[in-house]
Amino acid sequence: MQVTITINGESVSRDVEPRQLLVHFIRETPGLTGTHWGCDTSNCGACVVLMDGKPVKACTTLAAMCEGHEIRTVESLEVDGRLDPVQEGFHEKHALHCGFCTPGMLMTSRALLDENPNPTEDEIRTAISGGICRCTGYKNIVAAIRWAAEQEAATRQGA
Amino acid sequence: MATVENLPSARAERPIGFGRLKRKEDARFIRGKGTYLDDISLPGMMHGAMLRSPFAHARIVSIDTSRALAHPNVAAVVTAKDLETLGLAWMPTISYDTQAVLAGDKVRFQGQEVAFVIATDEYSARDALPLIDVEYEPLPAVVNARKALDADAPLIRDDKDGQTSNLASPTWEAGDEEATDSAFAEADTVVSRDIIYPRCHPAPLETCGMIADFNPETGQLDIYNGNQAPHAHRTVYAHVAGLAEHKIRIMCNDIGGGFGNKVPVYPGYVCAIAGSIVAGVPVKWVEDRTENLVSTGFARDYVMQAEMCSKDGKITGLRVDVIADHGAFDSTAQPTKFPAGFFHICCGSYDLQASHVKVKAVYTNKAPGGVAYRCSFRITEAVYLVERMVDALALEMGADPIDLRMRSFIGPEQFPYETTTGWTYDSGNYAETMKVAMGIAGYEDLRREQVEKRARGELMGIGVSFFTEGVGAGPRKHMDILGLSMNDGADLRVHPSGKAVVSLSAQTQGQGHETTFAQIVAEELGIPPEDVQVRHGDTDKSPYGLGTYGSRSTPVSGAAVAVVSRKVRDKARQIAATMLETRPEDLAWEKGRWYVKGDPEKEALIEDIAVRAYSGETLPEGMEGGLDAQVIYDPPNLTYPYGAYIAVVDVDPETAEVKVRRFIAVDDCGVRINPMIVDGQIHGGLAEGIGIALMEVITFDEEGNCLNSSFMDYLIPTALECPDFELGETVTPCPHHPLGAKGVGESPNVGSPPAIVNAVIDALHESHGVSHIDMPCTPARVWAAMQGRPEPPQ
């Protein structure tokens, strides 16, 4: 079946099997391998992308379900050589080790801050609890998201 | 991308060396530009999928691949019969056992590899799996280590000549049995416990996989694979497949976590290689999560019976008898000169009078492995055992668990200290570290809070553990794996522009090697870390060595990099002397330059020395050009990091749910090269320790069905189960490591489970009489213990 999905602002059209998973569609068709696959069961969150601004797990979303929707992946965060504050925050606060969960964590963080620009620690922990990081113990991920929230608040004030 | 803050430097304009340098490798990861195995695609590449056994124990009557081969997208189906013709049906394990690559005679655990399909795409390869018709004749299975030794237990390894029971090893012993008997005879308090460290799994977020690309014209085999020891793997493939080692190239790019799971060679790898040889195209195989959990290297699974005694308020003796469950094939990872791994470091941090340890291994109808899960060869089990026993003893004596530890510690003046099982601890000041942890925790206040809460019927527990680890395997006089010494190489090349490339045999899986090892060169040579490229993971471009596991990167490879840097520095001194027209002994070193003693303005900067080394100008008599060096580092001893951990837990009286409210970790890992990375390693290991203590377990039903085969039932802590870890540090340099570093990666995983379990018991002892519980402390298991009927995990 023919499926057309807007991925990072580009319209991508392809003939796929109805069963094809969104994570495979993204990784194969535009070759955006930043979106990872880790568990098959919606538990680990390595595959989180934004669908119309909301985080979804691409390993349990069919490509066909995304017809006409807008998908954002980790590759969209940096714009014109400028990192997104969540990307900077993860680097500043050492919120990644092996990097495998990072794209999903970054997209989850972006969606959180878009909806709640000033989250508490509890709100951050709840927001990222759909994902597993095996390396960091989450402490620095929480700090990174707080860091990004404060950066964005400072930018808003300055604007 | 690398930024530097607060770095000490002799010269302000040259910020170099140790400190909280932000990681170089982040640049690609935060952009989604890492290169993990599944991100790689080669022209003409086909995809493999593995058919696995649904039975834990069954005879294979027949395998019919004809329907699968009729699938239009299937190129080949490989079975044991095909592998036999290539001599690849069985492979050696890292414990000198054998393991079936594909099952031919019978299957011995659920999930065992039976047939390998090669197809044009992954979906088709998996579609073909149910088209393979395998007729099985089910056999009784045994999944309990003790029952495996029963006379009527089914014989699992009937493939092995002379094997008449499920014993996988002789009984290994350490310590002094007679002296231990005396210590117990003289003791005033004795406690005993049956302690199980249940089977768990490293479960890195990226599963295991490989791309094998065999070129029949040249005989060259290129392997893309995320493994923790690429050089050792290459040697194994050369032996297994009968291929020429110099024509095998392994390329490990980015690895999505390892934790020990990516140490072994798995049947899927051998099948991908065989598939590429047979099909004549590159073959990619990537396991799914269930395959990872049910078939690849598990951890722990130790059934331990222990006794500990004290005299005059001090711990004096320890007696341990262990049955190690190694699964269907003995592929446990361990340096072979110590066949029980490092379990016999179980005398802990205490100045014991005597100890005696016995370990025997058994086969069961469970997946093979026994690899570390962030642990040096069974040290985790040893630390768990001793720290549980110390608490049991304190409970029996009515002593505060910290007081008993303080009274029994090896004193700082006793180092180097030879333990009663023959290990030589390098350095330590245990009481000092314990005090720092007590200070951060506010230990006295916590005890007061506990008394108040108990009066209100609330269940609060405070748990302590104090661990000493032996890491950085290891000295070639003591240990090897498959006959390969556990040494590591480093190759440093300073280019004419003064910028450098250092090549390592260690293999990062997220530990930040590209940053830390650049910092070591920076510290030693004064070349800024951003000007030092760290190269690893490609066997054609890095020196031989045994890789990264068991916290050995900094103790072994880190030392290698320091030593190779010093070799370059020594050569630079000779060249500087020629440049400055003086004698080498008249020069003094300061980061980045040699200068004339007494005349510090007269200097040769490292970058100027580099230019000279490659130039047409005169060099010292007899010296070759260039500014390079290579070393293989053989550590004189293991390093012995240690730490004091305190857990504060609340147990819900209604649901028995355990919440880790606070976790205090004070680690002494010697000198810290990048404290930010060290802290990060500790955070991650603590989360894993919480997982093991509270939720992570691999169990089986009586028929051998694995009950934890996905992340739906193999539970891993999320941000909600982890507290905001509170860290502290003491620094006792390692006396024999060139940088004084000891290694840290596995410490938090080793030290945290006993602290948490001790805290759970501390919460429940007074009100519910609980004096023992086995992990994981799930609500159901804690509830059962509260009702006075504790259940073993299996």
Confidence (pLDDT) at A149: 98
Residues A16 and A58 in one domain: yes
- CATH code: domain of residue A102: 1.10.150.120
Confidence (pLDDT) at B372: 80
Residues A57 and A29 in one domain: yes
What's the average model confidence in pLDDT over B624-645?
97
Chain A neighbors of B204, CB-CB under 8 A: 98, 100, 134
Give the span between the Cα atoms of B267 and A31, in whole angstroms.
29
Phi, psi of A7, rounded to the nearest 5 degrees: -115, 120
- CATH code: domain of residue A18: 3.10.20.30
- Convert the pLDDT of each residue in B10-38 to its tens digit: 444 545 789 999 999 999 999 999 999 99
Residues A50 and A104 in one domain: no
Q: Which of A41, A102, A128 lies at the smallest CB-CB distance from B711?
A: A41
Chain B neighbors of A124, CB-CB under 8 A: 719
Q: Can you give the three-state secondary structure of chain A, one letter per residue?
A: CEEEEEECCEEEEEECCCCCEHHHHHHHCCCCCCCCCCCCCCCCCCCEEEECCEEEEHHHCEHHHHCCCEEECHHHCCECCECCHHHHHHHHCCCCCCCCCHHHHHHHHHHHHHHCCCCCHHHHHHHHHHCCCCCCCCHHHHHHHHHHHHHHHHHHHHC
Q: Is the pLDDT of residue B117 over 50?
A: yes
What tokens were used for B525? 């040579």
DSSP, collapsed to helix, strand or coil, labels residue B24 as: coil
Confidence (pLDDT) at B155: 98
Give the C-alpha distances (Å, rounded to integers) separating B307 from B304, B343, B554.
10, 16, 35
- DSSP secondary structure letter of residue B445: H
Residues A70 and A108 in one domain: no
Residues A64 and A96 in one domain: no
Percent of chain B with pLDDT over 90: 91
pLDDT band at B483 (very low <50, low <70, confident <90, very high): confident
What tokens were used for B255? 């690895």
Give the span between the Cα atoms of B229 and B31, in whole angstroms.
27
- Convert the pLDDT of each residue in B300-318 to its tens digit: 999 999 999 999 999 999 9
A135/B510 touch (CB, cutoff 8 Å), yes or no? yes
Phi, psi of B204, rounded to the nearest 5 degrees: -60, 150
CB B370 within 8 A of CB B339: no
Whether B523 is catalytic is: no
What's the average model confidence in pLDDT over A29-49?
96
Give the residue numbers spanning the domain of A116: 85-158
- Convert the pLDDT of each residue in B729-741 to its tens digit: 999 999 999 999 9
Beta strands at B302-311 and B314-325: parallel, antiparallel or unpaired: antiparallel
Confidence (pLDDT) at B1: 40
Closest to A82 measured CA to CA, from A6, A158, A151:
A151
Contacts of B448 (CB under 8 A, 6+ apart): none
A99/B34 touch (CB, cutoff 8 Å), yes or no? yes
Give the span between the Cα atoms of A138 and B42, in whole angstroms.
35
Domain spans, chain B: 37-139+207-255+262-295, 380-471+638-786, 488-633
Q: Can you give the three-state secondary structure of B633-678, one letter per residue?
A: ECCCCCECCEEEEEEEEEECCCCCCEEEEEEEEEEECECCCCHHHH
Torsion of CA B277, B282, B288, B294, to 10 degrees: 20
State the number of CA atoms in the 13 A half-sphere of B434 facing the CB. Answer: 23
Give the C-alpha distances (Å, rounded to integers) separating B695 from B644, B663, B689, B705, B713.
23, 17, 10, 19, 9
Q: Is B28 on the interface with A (CB under 8 A)?
A: yes
Give the residue carrying structure tokens 């991920």: A141
pLDDT band at B339 (very low <50, low <70, confident <90, very high): low
Confidence (pLDDT) at B6: 38
Residue that is last in its domain, among A27, A59, A76: A76
pLDDT band at B4 (very low <50, low <70, confident <90, very high): very low
Helix (H) or strand (E) holding B685: helix B675-694
Q: Is the pLDDT of residue A23 over 90?
A: yes
Residues A66 and A19 in one domain: yes
Torsion of CA B233, A134, B122, B56, to 10 degrees: 80
What's the average model confidence in pLDDT over B64-74?
98
Residues A19 and A53 in one domain: yes
Chain A: closest CA distance from residue B377 (Å): 20
Chain B: closest CA distance from residue A157 (Å): 26
Give the span between the Cα atoms of B675 and B20, in whole angstroms.
6
Q: Is B675 on the interface with A (CB under 8 A)?
A: no
Q: Is the pLDDT of residue A93 over 80?
A: yes
Give the span between the Cα atoms of B693 and B469, in whole angstroms.
19
Residues A128 and A91 in one domain: yes
- Convert the pLDDT of each residue in B522-546 to its tens digit: 999 999 999 999 999 999 999 999 9
Q: Is A16 on the interface with B (CB under 8 A)?
A: no
Residue that is last in its domain, among A56, A76, A96: A76
Q: Is the pLDDT of residue B280 over 60?
A: yes
CB B400 within 8 A of CB B393: no
Give the span between the Cα atoms of B257 and B189, in whole angstroms.
44
Catalytic residue among B200, B208, B346, B375: B375
Confidence (pLDDT) at B197: 97
Give the residue carrying structure tokens 């194969």: A28
Confidence (pLDDT) at B718: 98
pLDDT band at B291 (very low <50, low <70, confident <90, very high): very high
Q: Is A93 on the interface with B (CB under 8 A)?
A: no
Global pTM value: 0.97
pLDDT band at B338 (very low <50, low <70, confident <90, very high): low
Closest to A38 measured CA to CA, from A110, A131, A108:
A131
Residue that is last in its domain, among A41, A76, A111: A76
Q: Is A112 on the interface with B (CB under 8 A)?
A: no
Give the span between the Cα atoms of B573 and B595, in whole angstroms.
9
A137/B710 touch (CB, cutoff 8 Å), yes or no? no
Q: Is the pLDDT of residue B335 over 90?
A: no
Beta strands at B98-100 and B74-78: parallel, antiparallel or unpaired: unpaired
The residues with which B250 forms a beta bridge, in sequence order, are: B223
Residues A124 and A103 in one domain: yes
Contacts of B199 (CB under 8 A, 6+ apart): B298, B299, B300, B301, B325, B366, B697, B698, B699, B794
What tokens were used for B209? 């996989």
B30/A36 touch (CB, cutoff 8 Å), yes or no? no
Give the span between the Cα atoms of B328 and B86, in whole angstroms.
24
- Convert the pLDDT of each residue in B583-596 to its tens digit: 999 999 998 999 99
Give the span between the Cα atoms of B233 and B239, in whole angstroms.
10
Cβ within 8 Å of B, A 38-77: 38-41, 43-44, 46, 73-75, 77
Give the residue carrying structure tokens 């269930």: B290
Q: Is the pLDDT of residue B507 over 60?
A: yes
CB B776 within 8 A of CB B759: no
B30/A73 touch (CB, cutoff 8 Å), yes or no? no
Query: Which stretch of B265-269, B276-280, B709-713, B755-759 has the lowest confidence by average pLDDT?
Result: B276-280
CB B327 within 8 A of CB B370: yes
Domain count, chain A: 2
Closest to B212 measured CA to CA, from B262, B264, B269:
B269
B488-633 topology per CATH: Aldehyde Oxidoreductase; domain 4 (3.30.365)
Beta strands at B658-668 and B726-729: parallel, antiparallel or unpaired: parallel
Mean pLDDT score of chain B: 95
Confidence (pLDDT) at B12: 42
Residues A6 and A72 in one domain: yes
Beta strands at A2-7 and A70-72: parallel, antiparallel or unpaired: parallel
B380-471+638-786 topology per CATH: Aldehyde Oxidoreductase; domain 4 (3.30.365)
A137/B716 touch (CB, cutoff 8 Å), yes or no? no
Closest to B357 measured CA to CA, from B134, B165, B99, B176:
B176
Q: What is the DSSP string of B184-238?
A: HHH-SEEEEEEEEE--B----SS--EEEEEEETTTTEEEEEE--S-HHHHHHHHH
- Convert the pLDDT of each residue in B221-250 to its tens digit: 999 999 999 999 999 999 888 889 999 999
Give the span between the Cα atoms of B386 and B319, in whole angstroms.
10
CB B602 within 8 A of CB B595: yes
pLDDT band at B747 (very low <50, low <70, confident <90, very high): very high
Cβ within 8 Å of A, B 280-309: 288-290
What tokens were used for B182? 């005396």
Give me the interface pTM, i.e. the ipTM.
0.98
Residues A56 and A97 in one domain: no
Percent of chain A with pLDDT over 70: 100
Helix (H) or strand (E) holding B362: strand B354-362
Please give the angle made by the CA atoms of B249, B255 and B259, to the nearest 5 degrees.
110
Phi, psi of A83, rounded to the nearest 5 degrees: -70, 150
What's the average model confidence in pLDDT over B109-123?
98
What's the average model confidence in pLDDT over B128-140?
98
Contacts of B191 (CB under 8 A, 6+ apart): B307, B308, B309, B389, B392, B393, B395, B396
Confidence (pLDDT) at B17: 86
B205/A132 touch (CB, cutoff 8 Å), yes or no? yes
CB B653 within 8 A of CB B783: no
Phi-psi region of B257 (alpha: psi -120 to 50; beta: other; left: phi over 0): left
Q: Can you give the three-state secondary structure of B475-528, one letter per residue?
A: CCCCCEECCEECCEEEEEEECCCCCEEEEECCCCCCCCHHHHHHHHHHHHHCCC
B257/A90 touch (CB, cutoff 8 Å), yes or no? no
Closest to B48 measured CA to CA, from B221, B282, B240:
B282
Please give the angle made by the CA atoms of B111, B117 and B118, to the nearest 5 degrees.
140
Torsion of CA B132, B137, B143, B148, to 10 degrees: -140
Cβ within 8 Å of B, A 114-143: 121, 124-126, 128-142
Q: Is B758 on the interface with A (CB under 8 A)?
A: no
Confidence (pLDDT) at B794: 63
Confidence (pLDDT) at B7: 40
DSSP, collapsed to helix, strand or coil, labels residue B176 as: coil
Q: Is B37-139+207-255+262-295's fold the same as B488-633's?
A: no
CATH number among 1.10.4190.10, 3.30.470.20, 3.30.1360.30, 3.90.1170.50, domain B37-139+207-255+262-295: 3.90.1170.50
Closest to B401 measured CA to CA, from B783, B778, B754, B785:
B754
Residues A103 and A72 in one domain: no
Q: Is the pLDDT of residue A32 over 90?
A: yes
- Convert the pLDDT of each residue in A147-159 to its tens digit: 999 999 999 998 7
Whether B746 is catalytic is: yes
Give the C-alpha distances (Å, rounded to integers) separating A59 from A3, A23, A43, A45, B592.
17, 5, 10, 9, 51
